[in-house]
Amino acid sequence: MKQWILATLLFVSSAANAAVVAVVDSGVDFAHEELQPLMYQNPNEIPGNLIDDDGNGLVDDVNGWNFIDNYDRVFFREHLTSYDKIVYPLFRVIARRQAGTSRAQDDAYWNNHVMSLSEEKRQELLLHLNSFGQYVHGTHVAGIVAQESPTSKIISSRVFADEPPPFYRHDLKREGWRWTDGLYWVLAQVQNVMFDQVAQYNASIEADVANYSLGVSMQMIARAILALRGNQEPTDEEVSAEASRAIEPFKKRARKWIDGAPNTLFVVAAGNDGTNNDDFPVFPAIIRAPNLITVAATNGHSFLASFSNYGIKSVDIAAPGVAIDSAVPSLDRKTRLPLSGTSMAAPYVSGVAASVKEVNPQLTPSDVKQILMDTVDKKDWLTDKVISGGIVNSARARYAAKQLRSIDVTMDAAIRAAREAIPDHADLIEPAINNESDEFSKALIF
Ligand SMILES: [Ca+2]
Ligand SMILES: [Ca+2]
């Protein structure tokens, strides 16, 4: 009897209108108990028979595709054992330091496990944590989508390898440089072709939302190009001009893959340089399209995260992105960790977008974008930072989407009704402004 009830509940929770969310990232660990129920199943593909049953060119693509290795396996749980268990408690401490909520015992832990190390060991540990952060990245992002949209289906498009390319560990001396910047650079330069394939794939599976918690700072590319030309100490103006020039071919290419998937809403992280994307573009965040929304990160509902990029012409909306708790791969398959970055803000918006689409499947990607933008919690401190001037409000967005199920309701009326019915999000804990700015807290932003 109990089992029967459970089965019924599972059936009910699997919504008829389940939105499909593509997580374009480092691969999702669907073995995690929070993600297992949301795993997408390609209905036209028989798993493991080495035949491309649905004829989309990909053999046995049941839960996604590994675009790096070009096969069906998207996650490698066996790599989990190469990480020291200290990564779990350390990431918790680091997240509280980033959020400005660390406690006395955090400081003690920090001193014992980080500050007591030699400089060399500390750098090794930082690389180890960075590598782990990348390994868990896709799972963490998917977990955030799952929290906002628990009845959606998640498909994993893997575009990162577990190990960074080694030749990017020494180049480009810039404060706060992270190896992921180098990795993104490689991806953007060499594998923009891959992103074409990813977009085609997202379109073929009719993904409603595609989350891109990734990007390349064109500032980095511009500095590298200028350095190659012998200009080692360029001015900001020179960097900005070179970045704007260098991004043109990327934009043209991206336009193709975004226009080629008109039924998918692309949700893109703004980037973690703490700079203005209008001046220093980040790809693909800089792309403007009716079916693309770019997301900055806030600390709770209180202020723009210090690392977050912004741009009144090119960043659409903000969402919480500091110390966000979500699923990570672990032996017990149920562990969560807090991570920070615009990579964590974007999937919050993706999850809200997916739930909006489930509330009203008739909405187009541009409708969903407009609803998200027009139902934000307006904040004075975001007025000159993001186009919508506010933080996504999930309940209000869904309320507006629901109003629009009636054909006599206009978008304006639906937004107005939603604004009247649903109050701004109340932030119960006001995070401290003076968050820790140690090397780890600054570098471990995703
Ligand atoms: Ca196939
Ligand atoms: Ca097959």
| Cα distances (angstroms) measured from residue 386 to each of 197, 230, 373, 382, 383 | 30, 36, 10, 6, 6
What's the pLDDT at 393? 98
pTM equals 0.91
| CA 60 / ligand 1 centre spacing (Å) | 5
- Say if residues 405 and 360 touch (Cβ distance below 8 Å): yes
| CA 248 / ligand 2 centre spacing (Å) | 39
Residue whose structure tokens are 């072709």: 193
Cis-peptide into 284, omega within 30 deg: yes
Q: Is 386 a domain residue?
A: no
Provide the token pair at 229: 């030309």
Q: pLDDT for 64-96, tens place per residue?
A: 999 988 899 999 999 999 999 999 999 999 999
| CA 402 / ligand 1 centre spacing (Å) | 35
What's the pLDDT at 324? 97
Q: Coil, strand or helix: which one is 282?
A: strand
Q: Is 206 a domain residue?
A: yes
What's the pLDDT at 110? 94
What's the pLDDT at 176? 43
* Tally of domains within the chain: 1
* CATH for 288: 3.40.50.200
Is 131's pLDDT higher than 60?
yes
Q: Which domain holds residue 76?
A: 19-356
Residues within 5 A (CB) of ion ligand 1: 45, 52, 54, 56, 58, 61
Residue whose structure tokens are 């999850």: 351
Q: pLDDT for 339-367, tens place per residue?
A: 999 999 999 999 999 999 999 999 999 99
| CA 214 / ligand 1 centre spacing (Å) | 26
- Cα separation, 102 vs 95, in Å, equals 8
Residue 101 or 370, more confident: 370
- Cα separation, 87 vs 110, in Å, equals 12
Provide the token pair at 318: 């903000």
Q: Is 434 a domain residue?
A: no
Q: Is 49 a domain residue?
A: yes
| CA 67 / ligand 2 centre spacing (Å) | 17
User: Ligand nearest 61 Cα, by number?
Assistant: 1
Q: Is 238 a domain residue?
A: yes
| CA 63 / ligand 2 centre spacing (Å) | 12
pLDDT band at 2 (very low <50, low <70, confident <90, very high): very low
| CA 150 / ligand 2 centre spacing (Å) | 28
Q: Is 383 a domain residue?
A: no
| CA 139 / ligand 2 centre spacing (Å) | 24
| CA 194 / ligand 2 centre spacing (Å) | 22
- Beta bridge partners of residue 158, listed in sequence order: 25, 66
DSSP 1-19: -HHHHHHHHHHHHS-TTPP
Q: pLDDT for 39-52, tens place per residue?
A: 999 999 999 999 99
| CA 42 / ligand 1 centre spacing (Å) | 8
Q: pLDDT for 157-201, tens place per residue?
A: 998 877 654 333 333 344 444 444 554 555 555 456 778 889 889
| Cα distances (angstroms) measured from residue 402 to each of 356, 359, 410 | 8, 6, 12
What's the pLDDT at 420? 98
Q: Is 372 a domain residue?
A: no
Is 128's pLDDT higher than 60?
yes
pLDDT band at 29 (very low <50, low <70, confident <90, very high): very high
Q: Is 438 a domain residue?
A: no
The distance between the two most distant Cα atoms of the chain, rounded to a whole number of Å, is 75
| Cα distances (angstroms) measured from residue 103 to each of 50, 93, 96, 99, 321 | 53, 9, 8, 11, 20
User: Ligand nearest 49 Cα, by number?
Assistant: 2
What backbone phi and psi angles, to 5 degrees, belong to 430? -85, 110
